[in-house]
């Protein structure tokens, strides 16, 4: 770990830079919602798992959700809690870790519940509360890749397949149908859930409303969310309500800082060749897909930003580029390209494809100091290929 005075213009690139101030701002919003609404809001590791920052999280929240044995182990060890665990499948060989690290365990199907419940019930380490993931078959998410609630989805049990009388041992229900959604989408979803799963809701002690609640986005109506959750709790006073966003925690908390290493022009298209990659380091820009913001550039032409450039990644994938951005003055080799909002679903999803240099991870602390949380070396690449 190194402590050095840097700026975004001098930090060695490529680098993810997490801003502690911005993270704390999000954590404050989330804690406010949790306290005002009387719900538990826990961190979904699938969006963000920079465990060296978990001490900051623990000042505001006390829980986390894991989607695999390794995430559960990390939550147990680094967040120092028993995780809420949901995974599409559990395997016999994972169960010891899952049981040791989880306080709540949600199953994706009745088959998996029936297979593993006897071991959960017999577990002597601590009490584990079991739940089932339901599929309300209602989602407003338009991108298929991120819509888990279609009628053919493998994730969750549709109402028609869930017995009105839940099996012994089921204490909770879990649904996840949102993605960067607002409170009004949740309101409409809850109407469907309450209507389709009315008998089952009576029988459980908790409901987990999944992730995708982007409550730290500037236009998110947190007052509406709080009212909505309070009203839900009034209708179901026996239920503990849990939400497990990921993106909301890390939303707009930092950047990916890169350097232009070359500029190529082919067929009238100018491409800024940077020392990072869309496919390896910003995968959602291609998968979602969306065009991220670059500091100082515009995503569409305007009076000031008239110079069009594509940006190209440094992997050999032909499609490892995005465009166009518009600049006010011509970028040069050696200039920086600072991609905004590159903390959630980046560091957890990156690859070492092509063996290209992997961005280091920095924390720019509230006191102004810089902490290099992780620098990747050749050995990291080598050992993945053992």
Ligand X SMILES: Cc1ncc(COP(=O)(O)O)c(C=O)c1O
Per DSSP bridges, beta strands 254-266 and 336-340 are: antiparallel
CA–CA distance, 319 with 316 (Å, rounded to integer):
9
376 Cα distance to chain centroid: 22
Residue with smaller CB distance to ligand X, 146 or 381:
146
Select from 54, 86, 251, 321 the one that contacts ligand X (CB under 6 A): 86
Q: Nearest to residue 337, comparing CAs of 281, 273, 288?
A: 273
**Dihedral angle sign, alpha carbons of residues 21, 22, 27, 30:** positive
Residue 47 found at the interface with ligand X (CB under 6 A):
yes
Residue with smaller CB distance to ligand X, 257 or 343:
343
Half-sphere exposure of 224 (CA within 13 A, CB side): 13
CB of 247 to ligand X, least distance (A): 4
Residue with smaller CB distance to ligand X, 75 or 246:
246
Which span (25-33, 97-105, 205-213, 330-338) binds ligand X, by CB under 6 A? 205-213
CA–CA distance, 292 with 282 (Å, rounded to integer):
9
CB of 214 to ligand X, least distance (A): 7
CB of 347 to ligand X, least distance (A): 13
Which span (188-196, 206-214, 232-240, 376-384) binds ligand X, by CB under 6 A? 206-214
Residue 176 found at the interface with ligand X (CB under 6 A):
yes
Q: What is the CA radius of gyration of the chain?
A: 22
The total number of residues written for the chain in this structure = 386
Which span (43-51, 198-206, 356-364, 378-386) binds ligand X, by CB under 6 A? 43-51
Which residues make Cβ contacts (< 8 Å) with residue 10, sequence separation at least 6?
A: none
Residue 186 found at the interface with ligand X (CB under 6 A):
no
CB of 97 to ligand X, least distance (A): 19
Select from 74, 101, 132, 179 the one that contacts ligand X (CB under 6 A): 179
CA–CA distance, 244 with 221 (Å, rounded to integer):
18
Residue nearest to ligand X (CB): 211
Residue with smaller CB distance to ligand X, 225 or 357:
225
Q: Work out the end-to-end distance of the chain between its first and last CA atoms, rounded to an integer number of angstroms.
A: 26
Residue 207 found at the interface with ligand X (CB under 6 A):
no
Residue 131 found at the interface with ligand X (CB under 6 A):
no
Residue 75 found at the interface with ligand X (CB under 6 A):
no
Residue 44 found at the interface with ligand X (CB under 6 A):
yes
Which residues make Cβ contacts (< 8 Å) with residue 66, sequence separation at least 6?
A: 45, 72, 74, 75, 83, 84, 85, 86, 87, 101, 102
CB of 301 to ligand X, least distance (A): 31
CA–CA distance, 143 with 140 (Å, rounded to integer):
9
CB of 279 to ligand X, least distance (A): 20
Select from 30, 46, 116, 280 the one that contacts ligand X (CB under 6 A): 46
Q: Which helix (H) or strand (E) holds 310?
A: strand 307-312
Residue 156 found at the interface with ligand X (CB under 6 A):
no
Residue with smaller CB distance to ligand X, 139 or 271:
139
CB of 264 to ligand X, least distance (A): 36
Which residues make Cβ contacts (< 8 Å) with residue 214, sequence separation at least 6?
A: 180, 181, 182, 220, 245, 247, 248, 251
CA–CA distance, 188 with 128 (Å, rounded to integer):
31
CA–CA distance, 321 with 310 (Å, rounded to integer):
7
Which span (55-63, 207-215, 294-302, 315-323) binds ligand X, by CB under 6 A? 207-215
Report the site for ligand X in 235-254 (rule: CB under 6 A): 244-248
Contact residues toward ligand X (CB under 6 A) are 44, 46-47, 86, 176, 179, 210-212, 244-248
């Amino acid at each position: 770990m190194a402590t050095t005075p840097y700026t975004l213009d001098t930090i060695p690139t490529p680098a993810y830079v997490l801003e502690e101030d911005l993270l704390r701002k999000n954590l404050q919003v989330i804690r406010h919602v949790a306290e005002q609404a009387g719900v538990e809001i826990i961190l979904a590791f699938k969006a963000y798992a920079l465990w060296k920052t978990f001490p900051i999280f623990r000042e505001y929240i006390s829980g986390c959700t894991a989607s695999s044995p390794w995430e559960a182990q990390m939550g147990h060890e680094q967040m120092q809690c028993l995780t809420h665990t949901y995974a599409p499948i559990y395997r016999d060989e994972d169960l010891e870790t899952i049981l040791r690290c989880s306080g709540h365990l949600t199953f994706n199907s009745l088959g998996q519940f029936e297979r593993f419940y006897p071991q959960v019930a017999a577990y002597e380490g601590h009490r584990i509360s079991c739940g089932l993931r339901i599929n309300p078959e209602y989602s407003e998410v338009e991108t298929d890749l991120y819509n888990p609630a279609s009628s053919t989805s493998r994730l969750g049990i549709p109402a028609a397949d869930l017995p009105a009388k839940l099996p012994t041992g089921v204490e909770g229900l879990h649904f996840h149908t949102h993605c960067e959604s607002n409170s009004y989408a949740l309101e409409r979803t809850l109407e469907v859930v309450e209507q389709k799963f009315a008998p089952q809701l009576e029988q459980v002690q908790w409901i987990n409303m999944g992730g995708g609640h982007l409550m730290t986005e500037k236009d998110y109506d947190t007052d509406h969310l709080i009212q909505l959750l309070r009203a839900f709790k009034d209708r179901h006073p026996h239920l503990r309500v849990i939400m497990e966003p990921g993106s909301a925690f890390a939303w707009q908390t930092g950047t990916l800082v890169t350097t232009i290493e070359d500029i190529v022009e082919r067929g009238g298209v100018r491409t800024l060749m940077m020392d990072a990659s869309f496919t390896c380091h910003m995968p959602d820009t291609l998968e979602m897909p969306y065009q991220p913001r670059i500091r100082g550039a515009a995503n569409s032409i305007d009076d000031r930003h008239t110079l069009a450039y594509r940006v190209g990644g440094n992997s050999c994938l032909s499609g490892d580029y995005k465009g166009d951005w518009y600049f006010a003055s011509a970028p040069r080799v050696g200039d920086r390209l600072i991609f905004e909002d590159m903390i959630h679903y980046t560091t957890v999803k990156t690859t070492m494809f092509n063996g290209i240099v992997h961005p280091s991870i920095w924390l720019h602390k509230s006191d102004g100091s810089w902490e290099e949380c992780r620098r990747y070396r050749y050995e990291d690449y080598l050992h993945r290929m053992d």
